Structure 1
Amino acid sequence: MTPSSAQSVSKLACVILTAGQGKRMKSAKPKVLHEIAGRPMINWLLRSVEELSPDKIIVVTAPDAPGVADAVAPHDTAIQKIPMGTGDAVRAAMPALKGFDGDILVLLGDMPLLSTGMMQGLIEARRHDAQTGIAVLGVEYKNPPAFGRLVMNADGTLNKIVEDKDATPEQRAIKLCNTGAFCIDGTKLSGWLDKLQTNNAQGEYYITDLPEIAAREGVKTRVSILYNADEVAGVNSRADLAVVEAIAQKNLRRAAMDNGATLIDPSSVFFCYDTKIGRDVVIGPNVVFGPGVTVGDNVTIEAFCHIEGARIDTGCTVGPFARLRPGTKLGAKVKIGNFVETKNAHLHDGAKASHLAYIGDADVGAGVNFSCGAITANYDGFEKFKTVIGDNAMVGSNVTLVAPVTIGKGAYIAAGATVTKDVADDALYVERAEPRMLAGWAAKFRAKKQKK
């Protein structure tokens, strides 16, 4: 590397373009805020960029997309007032880069799965030698989509990029395509942008014209080739969003299995971007993880569970058909059975609710048995109240615990009770009406009906 280029090695800025209108999404929400595995796609890309530790990140947005600025904070945003193409979008970011003399990475916000490693390869291509001012990320397709084609020189450098709408039939036959990702010498970018013209099918300023402009000054463009097209899958429609979601889920499933989890039917398990799964975890079919889930080692999650905002400690069993809602904490070896729902509830070690129960806004002690049909009545229509159950208490079938209420350690709540006051340690709480049995009543009733 030459001394003249050494200064730029330690400097890097990134410009992410998000100002496209995204009309095909048919949505009031800015395109880059649509979620992949529970996280806006712009934040997927930002996380990969942040791993490069750039000096600046600038996100170019449209005037009517304030939510984007909130999503990318604390990074700077720039406004492209009128959508006049990718070159014009990069130009909108230049005031924030005034005086910057490092490399500038230009990425598309609707291409969320591009890895840090691929970005690094693109940067290294730009820094190949002192004569290289631009690097383009290219990918080869057997049947190219409507992407710009990379027209190469005999020496392996890039001659030009031709957009699909402007390409001849011969150029459309080229398999190597532009992904939209560039790394550009920041000392020259502003001057090159000033030379862009709109003499193309779209009547826009194309960033893809920069290699030809640079070549007229004797500056080379190199291509960094990507061999995994999944990384550059873009989102322009709801169908595209589903494709990228599928790719992200495939990656998340693979990561879980690589880290020691067993997925009985991987294709039916859906993770969130932040799901943490321990070792020797077994996950049955049709399990969905929402945001904020941590699963410890040696946990079994049976089929058809929905889990979000929950922490599950080692040795627990959950499901089938269980729902753990935000604020759920399960201690070691807790059992949550079929058709049990929890919310903002802490079940301590060894507690169990084996079937048909609701536990909300509750602290359930170690070893508690929460029986079939029992619920915490935690909401009065205006406020929510807490239920506290002491260690080793027994909550019988079809019990209603009307919060706020405390059940003492070792207490027994008889089946069918509605508990509205605190229960002492080791006490038995029974609430039942005096039973009545009318001998022969059913036979008389049937006879009366049959005469009609």
Structure 2
Amino acid sequence: MDNCIILAGGQGKRMKTNKPKVLLEVLGEPMLEWVIKACESAGIGNICVVKGYEGEQVEAYVSGRNGSADVQTVLQSERLGTGHAVMMAADYLKERIGGNTLILCGDAPFIDRETISGSLALHKKAGNAVTVVTSEIDEPKGYGRIIRTADGISGIVEEKDCTDEQRKIKEINSGCYWFDTKALLGVLGELKPNNAQKEYYLTDCISLLLSKGLKAGAFTSENKNVSLGANDRKGLLALNDIARLGVIDKWLDFGIEFTCTDGVSIGTQVEIGAGTVIDSNVKLSGKTKIGEGCRIMSGCLLNNTIVGNNTVLNFVQANDARVDDNVKIGPWVQLRPDSHVLSGAKIGDFVEIKNSTIGEGTAVAHLTYVGDSDVGSNVNFGCGVVTVNFDGEKKFRTTIGDNAFIGCNTNLVAPVKVGTSAYTAAGTTVTHDVPDGALAIDRGKQANIEGYATRKLKARNEKIAMQKKA
């Protein structure tokens, strides 16, 4: 049974965080998640994550994720090198001795399905005991060099041990390997910490396997970033930039227009329809899905939000919301979870919608809060309307029928229902249901007290008059 071991025990001291290094994020997802998803997409259904620093955080993340693979964890209590980390998974390997084992680094997020599948095919075809995934880069300084032979490789030489001629080699070790599982178990116990760091190096397995007359080979990945990781925050930022621009490049090929890529960040699970235009300073994350022919203007932050076709969003922040076709929203609008704006609706500036349905063709112009409400079609909201949904202990819903007119500064105190084609007068506080076609009006009688303002503001007016004379 083919399986994978992901090395995820590193602390990443230079990151200056109490998180395990593999849980630091690239485009909003932990680096570990990138690696696991690459395995899943390549059809690897059994994964063992070797945890170490703050291992309970890794355990919590792995147990809480949804995916196709069976992911287990083992603990490396001491960080004694990559070989030692694999030793911690020896029992896991013994249960799968008949297949091949992929070894990956949990902090190298750009491993991909094509590299995993291609290297496995070569590994099996060549009958290798180990196949090293390599890449060719223009600046190989700092990486272990691959020493090739006529029928495979003879080993990996670390940078500090290279001769002048070996330093010219541009083919480097990516830190990714396929092993015949039985052969790997046969040499793990022979690893020795014979180096300055007193660590057990996984790369030493190659020479041990060769000494037993077994074959070692290399697969060169076409992915130039397959070996990239991060040792500090600058490196993590570089990974994010590479990933961000890579996603944008993909969407350009699918017909998406970007007016400017400054501040644009699109998650790996996001879907975008053809003909959509995205301006600068836009973040699309989670399972957000944008339809065709939309305009996503500057300042939009959409997370797990579904947007229909031909919709325009301007400075909209939306989480777990849904917006249908031909809708115009913004600027400065917040759609909170479980909000649904139906086709043809218009939501103006400084509006917040929470756990509510806004019907087709309804207009919520500006300065309005709609919470826990079911709003019909073609309703008009005046400025400053509030659905008063919380009494300090419980939340209640408001229902507004089709074609209703909600006057400016109306307070709808839930639970309350405004009927079809009903009106509320400006400034009204509605505490009882309004029948279909009725007008709700609740205003105290206006009284004018003559001379009150003159007396109240006498001193202030005199001061202003003196300043004008001066």
In structure 2, distance between residues paired with 1:57 and 1:151: 30
CA contact (8 A) 1:166 1:200 kept: no
Match of 1:79 among 75, 79, 101: 75
Match of 1:96 among 92, 96, 101: 92
Query: What pairs with 1:264-413 in structure 2 (closer than 5 Å)?
Result: 264-305=259-300, 306-413=317-424
How far is 1:63 from its partner?
6.6
How far is 1:95 from its partner?
0.4
In structure 2, distance between residues paired with 1:224 and 1:366: 60
Partner SS for 1:127 = helix
CA contact (8 A) 2:388 2:412 kept: yes
Match of 1:215 among 210, 229, 237: 210
Distance change (3 Å), C-alpha of 1:415 and 1:261: farther
Instruction: Spell out, residue by residue over 1:30-79, the C-alpha distance to the aligned partner (whole angstroms, 9 max, x if none).
Output: 22222333322222221221122225211111274123223223411111
Which amino acid in the other structure matches residue 85 of structure 1? Answer: G
Identical amino acids, percent of aligned pairs: 37
How far is 1:107 from its partner?
0.6
Mean CA deviation greater in 312-321 or 115-124: 312-321
* Unaligned runs of at least 5 residues, structure 1: 1-10
CA contact (8 A) 1:134 1:211 kept: yes
Mean CA deviation greater in 305-314 or 198-207: 305-314
Match of 1:245 among 240, 246, 265: 240
CA contact (8 A) 2:129 2:209 kept: yes
Residue of structure 1 in register with 2:124 after alignment: 127
Instruction: Spell out, residue by residue over 1:282-338, the C-alpha distance to the aligned partner (whole angstroms, 9 max, x if none).
Output: 333322234343333443333212222122222222323322222222222222333
In structure 1, distance between residues paired with 2:444 and 2:93: 78
Residue of structure 2 in register with 1:26 after alignment: 16
Query: What pairs with 1:119-158 in structure 2 (closer than 5 Å)?
Result: 119-130=116-127, 132-153=128-149, 155=150, 157-158=152-153
The runs of at least 4 aligned residues of structure 1 exceeding 6 Å deviation read none
CA contact (8 A) 2:359 2:377 kept: yes
Partner SS for 1:192 = helix
* Unaligned runs of at least 5 residues, structure 2: 64-69, 301-316, 464-470
In structure 2, distance between residues paired with 1:251 and 1:345: 36
Distance change (3 Å), C-alpha of 1:410 and 1:450: closer
How far is 1:385 from its partner?
2.7
Mean CA deviation greater in 167-176 or 110-119: 167-176
Mean CA deviation greater in 49-58 or 77-86: 49-58
Partner SS for 1:195 = coil
How many corresponding residue pairs?
440
Q: What's the C-alpha RMSD, in Å, of the aligned pairs?
A: 2.6
In structure 1, distance between residues paired with 2:251 and 2:429: 44
Distance change (3 Å), C-alpha of 1:451 and 1:349: closer
CA contact (8 A) 2:19 2:54 kept: no
CA contact (8 A) 2:42 2:114 kept: no
Match of 1:52 among 42, 53, 72: 42
Partner SS for 2:132 = strand
Instruction: Spell out, residue by residue over 1:379-415, the C-alpha distance to the aligned partner (whole angstroms, 9 max, x if none).
Output: 3444333222222222233333333322222222223
In structure 2, distance between residues paired with 1:257 and 1:345: 35
Match of 1:39 among 19, 26, 29: 29
